[in-house]
Amino acid sequence: AALPAGIGRGTVQALHAAGVQVVAVSRTQADLDSLVRECPGVEPVCVDLGDWEATERALGNVGPVDLLVNNAGVALLQPFLEVTKEAYDTSFNVNLRAVIQVSQIVAKGLIARGAPGSIVNISSQASQRALTNHSVYCSTKGAMDMLTKAMALELGPHKIRVNAVNPTVVMTPMGQANWSNPQKAKTMLDRIPLGKFAEVENVVDIILFLLSDRSSMTTGSTVPVDGGFLAS
């Protein structure tokens, strides 16, 4: 789970409604508290996924886990000439390294049990198109798309599928914070054939599809939820 109305929370709500036993990971205890009140039975884990050792302690014995959604992400926007070491480190630690770490933990558990599984990485249209002030963010997501393919290659023989979802701007607190300027929003909307940003539900529907057996022959793919942005 991520922000109050974020993709992570929407995914947990949908999985919980479908009767799935969910472990929700967030660095924000208050968000987990309200989530558990809303979805009784969800197991909360409060940890900053940017911290390798803390993540190992928090999730090392989690499970058994069959399905994983790697959703945690940060967007620290800076002009290229002003990119800082701190922004780089935080962005790559959370957006990429944590995906490797958590996926290793889950995949090792699946392989030890001889169980099939599905992993979904939440990427972005920014993995495939350059956006102003997004040089580090775009780079983390470009790396995530390739990591998704590499994981699919190596985990496929173990019957573990790995796919990425690449949304356009989504109307979450993070999306609203970065795209609230009407002029900035218009330049992006003008490049989206469907003429609108994504709702959380649009992204969650694709995540559920990729987690489910309905997509049993799909792995190593990047699935846009972008209103046609990447086609334009």
Q: Which candidate in 85, 141, 186, 196 is catalytic?
A: 141
Q: Report, as an integer, the average pLDDT of 62-75.
A: 95
The stretches of 117-199 forming alpha helices (DSSP H) are 135-155, 173-179, 182-189
Q: Sorting pLDDT into bands at 50, 70 and 90, what band is 214?
A: very high
Q: What would the pLDDT profile of 197-213 be if each residue is shown by its tens digit?
A: 999 999 999 999 999 99
Is 88 designated active site? no
Can you tell me which residue has the tokens 């939820």?
Answer: 225
The dotted CATH code for 7-221 is: 3.40.50.720
Please state, in angstroms and rounded to a whole number, the distance separating the CA atoms of residues 82 and 87. Answer: 10
pTM listed for this prediction: 0.96
How far apart, in whole angstroms, are the C-alpha atoms of residue 111 and residue 59? 17
- pLDDT at position 172: 87
Residues in the chain, overall count: 232
- Residue 232: its pLDDT value, please? 87
Model pLDDT, residue 63: 84
Asked if pLDDT for residue 4 goes beyond 70, the answer is no
- For 52-74, what is the mean pLDDT? 96
Whether residue 1 has pLDDT greater than 50? no
Predicted local distance difference test score (pLDDT) of residue 173: 85
pLDDT at 161: 99
Confidence check: pLDDT of 121 > 70: yes
Helical (H) or strand (E) element with 116: none
Rounded to 5°, angle at Cα 32 from 28 and 38: 150
> Could you read off the pLDDT of 134-183 as tens digits, one per residue?
999 999 999 999 999 999 999 999 999 999 999 999 988 888 888 889 99
Catalytic entry in 85, 88, 108, 137: 137
Query: Does 176 or 7 have the greater pLDDT score?
Result: 7
- Residue 2 has a pLDDT of 40
According to the model, what pLDDT value does residue 201 have?
A: 96
